[in-house]
């Protein structure tokens, strides 16, 4: 069993839909990252959070430390949101474990 | 925060050659990390590079294959040596004061 599990693995949506991607982990962590990987391979850091909720534009990330769970929400999805979204957790201060990613395709 | 410039963004290389990937940070950082993502796989830590000390490699990665330099607090390089098609991957650097907090854009390497 992977220490970081993401769901769903693949997700398709129509433009404008509200999207949720989930991340569950089994280790004690100090923080969690959400990353966006573009089709060409480039990686962008979206959020790093250790508690509560963060919002940036149409993106919202939440984390529940007690339940070992985080969610990434995209409101009013757009085709340019199509990418792989990766959850990564930091444990032992400097160790990072990556999830396998969620491939999102948003159609016009 | 820190802004990372990782170069090159992509390259196609002949087998048997070596490629050096650079990671430049706009501020001084204590820790730098190098990761690899093989096709269809998750990102995996190659090594941790702290200035003034030898890089620490994870199981399955060796210095002869992936030599790392960390000459100062804003710069690091990862070299992929004697490349084979199995080295075709995305390589990513990450930095932070206490752990990985900021990420480069990644380098997509294809070995032919």
Which positions in chain A touch B101 (Cβ < 8 Å)?
Answer: 31, 48
Higher per-residue confidence, A1 vs B78: B78
Separation in Å, CA of B96 to nearest CA in chain A: 9
What confidence score (pLDDT) does residue B50 get? Answer: 83
Q: Mean pLDDT for chain A? A: 93
What confidence score (pLDDT) does residue B8 get? Answer: 96
Q: Does B29 touch chain A (CB under 8 A)?
A: no
CB contact (8 A) between residue A43 and residue B98: no
| Residue ranges for chain B with pLDDT beneath 50 | none
Q: Does A86 touch chain B (CB under 8 A)?
A: yes
Partner-chain residue, chosen from A35, A43, A94, that has the shortest CB–CB distance to B98: A94
Across chain A, how many H-helices and E-strands are there? 0, 11
Q: Does B90 touch chain A (CB under 8 A)?
A: yes
Strands A102-107 and A10-14 come out as: parallel
CB contact (8 A) between residue B103 and residue A43: yes
Q: Work out the percent of chain A whose per-residue pLDDT is above 70.
A: 99
CB contact (8 A) between residue A45 and residue B96: no
Which positions in chain A touch B9 (Cβ < 8 Å)?
Answer: 42
If one counts every other C-beta atom within 10 angstroms of the C-beta of residue B31, the result is 20
Q: Does A35 touch chain B (CB under 8 A)?
A: yes
A38-88 pLDDT, tens digit per residue, is 877 778 889 999 999 999 999 999 999 999 999 999 999 999 999 999 999
What confidence score (pLDDT) does residue B85 get? Answer: 96
The DSSP secondary-structure symbol of A83 reads E
The pLDDT confidence band at residue A1, using thresholds 50, 70 and 90, is low
Q: Does A98 touch chain B (CB under 8 A)?
A: yes
Q: Are B77 and B91 in contact (CB under 8 A)?
A: no
Separation in Å, CA of A43 to nearest CA in chain B: 5
What confidence score (pLDDT) does residue B18 get? Answer: 98
CA distance B47 to B31: 11
Q: Work out the percent of chain A whose per-residue pLDDT is above 90.
A: 78
- Could you please report the per-residue DSSP string of B33-98? EEEEE-TTS-EEEEEEEETTSPPEEPTT--TTTS-EEEEETTEEEEEE-S--GGG-EEEEEEEESS
The DSSP secondary-structure symbol of A58 reads T
Phi-psi region of A8 (alpha: psi -120 to 50; beta: other; left: phi over 0): beta
């Amino acid at each position: 069993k992977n220490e970081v599990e993401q769901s769903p693995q693949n997700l398709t949506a129509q433009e404008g839909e509200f999207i949720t991607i989930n991340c569950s982990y089994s280790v004690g962590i100090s923080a969690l990252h959400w990353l966006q990987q573009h089709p060409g391979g480039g990686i962008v850091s979206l959020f790093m959070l250790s508690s509560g909720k963060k919002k940036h534009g149409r993106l919202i990330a939440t984390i529940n430390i007690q339940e070992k769970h985080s969610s990434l929400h995209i409101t009013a999805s757009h085709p340019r949101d199509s990418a792989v979204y990766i959850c990564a957790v930091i444990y032992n201060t400097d160790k990072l474990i990556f999830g396998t990613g969620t491939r999102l395709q948003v159609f016009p | 925060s820190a802004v990372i410039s990782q170069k090159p963004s992509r390259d196609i290389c002949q087998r048997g050659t070596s490629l050096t990937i650079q990671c430049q940070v706009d501020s001084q950082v204590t820790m730098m990390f190098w990761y690899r993502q093989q096709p269809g796989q998750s990102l995996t830590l190659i090594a941790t590079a702290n200035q003034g000390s030898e890089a620490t490699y994870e199981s399955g990665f060796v210095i002869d294959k992936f030599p790392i330099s960390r000459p100062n607090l804003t710069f690091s390089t990862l070299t992929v040596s004697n490349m084979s098609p199995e080295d075709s991957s995305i390589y990513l650097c990450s930095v932070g004061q206490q752990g990985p907090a900021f990420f480069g854009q990644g380098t997509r390497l294809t070995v032919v």
